[in-house]
Amino acid sequence: MPNKNTMAAILSTDFDRVLSGWLKAQTKEGVKRADLVSAEESKEQSRDLLSAIADALPDAAVDSELDLTETVWDPIRDVLETITENRTQRGVSTTEMGWFIGSLKQPLFEILHTELADKPTEFMREMWNSTRLIDQISLHAIESLVEKREATIERQRAEMTEVSAPVVKIWDRIVTVPLIGTLDSFRAQTVMENILDAIVQWEAEVAIIDITGVSTVDTLVAQHLLKTAAAVRLMGAECVICGISPKIAQTVVNLGVELPNITTRVDLESGLAYAFDRVGVTVARG
Amino acid sequence: MMTINGCVVVAIRDDLDDQEIVALQDQLVDEVARQSAHGVVIDISGLEIVDTFAGRMLAAMAQMAQVMNARTIVVGMRPAVAMTLVELGMTLEGVETALNADRAINAITGDRQKIS
Amino acid sequence: MTLRKSVTLKTHGDIAYARQVAGELMVEIEASAIKRTKFVTAVSEIARNAINYGQGGVITFHLAEASGRKRALAVCTDRGPGIEDVDAALRDGFSTGKSLGLGLGGAKRLVDQFEIVSTPGSGTRVSLECGPR
Q: What is the pLDDT of residues C30-48, one digit of tens each?
A: 999 999 999 999 999 999 9
pLDDT of the residue at A2 = 42
Residues of chain C positioned with their CB less than 8 A from the CB of B58 = none
Q: Is residue A284 included in any domain, yes or no?
A: no
Query: Where residue A53 sits, what CATH number does that domain have?
Result: 1.10.490
Backbone angles phi, psi at B37, to 5 degrees: -70, 145
Please tell me whether residues A144 and A181 are part of one structural domain.
Answer: no
Please state at what angle helix C12-28 crosses helix B18-35, rounded to 10 degrees: 110
**pLDDT at residue B15 is higher than 90:** no
Neighbour count for residue B112 (Cβ, 10 Å):
14
Read off the pTM: 0.72
User: Stretch A72-99: mean pLDDT, rounded?
Assistant: 87
Q: What is the pLDDT of residues C69-113, one digit of tens each?
A: 899 999 999 988 888 777 777 777 666 555 555 678 889 999 999
For chain A, what percent of residues have pLDDT higher than 70? Answer: 93
Neighbour count for residue A91 (Cβ, 10 Å):
11
Asked whether A36 and A130 are in contact (CB, 8 A), the reply is no
Please tell me whether residues A19 and A154 are part of one structural domain.
Answer: yes
Please tell me whether residues A52 and A173 are part of one structural domain.
Answer: no
Q: Where are the strands (E) in C67-122, listed by range?
A: 69-78, 113-119
> Which of C13, C40, C92 lies at the smallest CB-CB distance from B49?
C40
The pLDDT mean for chain B works out to 89
Query: Where residue A202 sits, what CATH number does that domain have?
Result: 3.30.750.24
Write out residues 39-78 of B within 8 Å (CB-CB) of C: 48-53, 56, 78
Please tell me whether residues A54 and A156 are part of one structural domain.
Answer: yes
Please tell me whether residues A68 and A103 are part of one structural domain.
Answer: yes
CA B64 to chain centre: 11
**pLDDT at residue A64 is higher than 70:** no
CA A242 to chain centre: 34
pLDDT of the residue at A284 = 83
Residues of chain A positioned with their CB less than 8 A from the CB of B100 = 203, 236
Neighbouring chains of B at 3+ CB pairs within 8 Å? A, C
Q: Are B52 and C99 an interchain contact pair (Cβ–Cβ within 8 Å)?
A: yes
Please tell me whether residues A37 and A81 are part of one structural domain.
Answer: yes
Please tell me whether residues A145 and A56 are part of one structural domain.
Answer: yes
- Given CB atoms, is B88 within the 8 Å cutoff of chain A? no
Please tell me whether residues A38 and A156 are part of one structural domain.
Answer: yes
> Which of C13, C100, C105 lies at the smallest CB-CB distance from B17?
C13
Range of the domain at A37: 3-160
Please state at what angle helix B79-88 crosses helix C103-110, rounded to 10 degrees: 130
**Which of A135, A160, A185 finishes a domain?**
A160
pLDDT of the residue at A223 = 86
The total of structural domains in chain B comes to 1
**Which of A160, A183, A213 finishes a domain?**
A160
Q: What is the pLDDT of residues B38-77, one digit of tens each?
A: 999 999 999 999 999 899 889 999 999 989 999 999 999 9
ipTM greater than 0.90, yes or no? yes
Please tell me whether residues A35 and A110 are part of one structural domain.
Answer: yes
Q: Per DSSP, what are the bridge partners of residue B71?
A: B39
Please tell me whether residues A63 and A191 are part of one structural domain.
Answer: no
pLDDT of the residue at A5 = 53
One-letter amino acid for residue A188 of the chain? A
pLDDT of the residue at A1 = 38
Q: Per DSSP, what are the bridge partners of residue A242?
A: A210, A265
User: Stretch B25-34: mean pLDDT, rounded?
Assistant: 91
Q: Are A234 and B92 an interchain contact pair (Cβ–Cβ within 8 Å)?
A: yes
Could you write out the three-class secondary structure of A14-79? CHHHHHHHHHHHHHHHCCCCCCCCCHHHHHHHHHHHHHHHHHHHHHCCCCCCCCCCCHHHHHHHHH
Q: Is residue A17 included in any domain, yes or no?
A: yes
**Which of A102, A132, A160 finishes a domain?**
A160
Q: Are B53 and C37 an interchain contact pair (Cβ–Cβ within 8 Å)?
A: no
Please tell me whether residues A182 and A220 are part of one structural domain.
Answer: yes
What distance, in Å, lies between the first and last C-alpha atoms of chain C? 19
Range of the domain at B22: 2-115
Q: How confident is the model at residue B31 (pLDDT cuts 50, 70, 90)?
A: very high
What is the DSSP secondary-structure string of chain A? ---TTSHHHHHHHSHHHHHHHHHHHHHHHT---TTTS-HHHHHHHHHHHHHHHHHHGGGS--STT--TTSGGGHHHHHHHHHHHHHHHHHT--HHHHHHHHHTTHHHHHHHHHHHTTT-HHHHHHHHHHHHHHHHHHHHHHHHHHHHHHHHHHHHHHHHHHHHH---EEEETTEEEEEEEE---HHHHHHHHHHHHHHHHHHT-SEEEEEEEEES---HHHHHHHHHHHHHHHHTT-EEEEE---HHHHHHHHHHT---TT-EEESSHHHHHHHHHHHHT------
The total of structural domains in chain A comes to 2
Query: Where residue B47 sits, what CATH number does that domain have?
Result: 3.30.750.24
pLDDT of the residue at A206 = 96
Q: Are B49 and C33 an interchain contact pair (Cβ–Cβ within 8 Å)?
A: no
- Given CB atoms, is B107 within the 8 Å cutoff of chain A? no
Q: Is residue A285 included in any domain, yes or no?
A: no
Please tell me whether residues A47 and A85 are part of one structural domain.
Answer: yes
- Given CB atoms, is B88 within the 8 Å cutoff of chain C? yes
CA distances from A140 to A66, A68, A78, A96, B99 (A): 13, 8, 11, 14, 52
Put residue A238 in one of left, alpha, beta given phi > 0 → left and psi -120 to 50 → alpha: beta
For chain A, what percent of residues have pLDDT higher than 90? Answer: 31
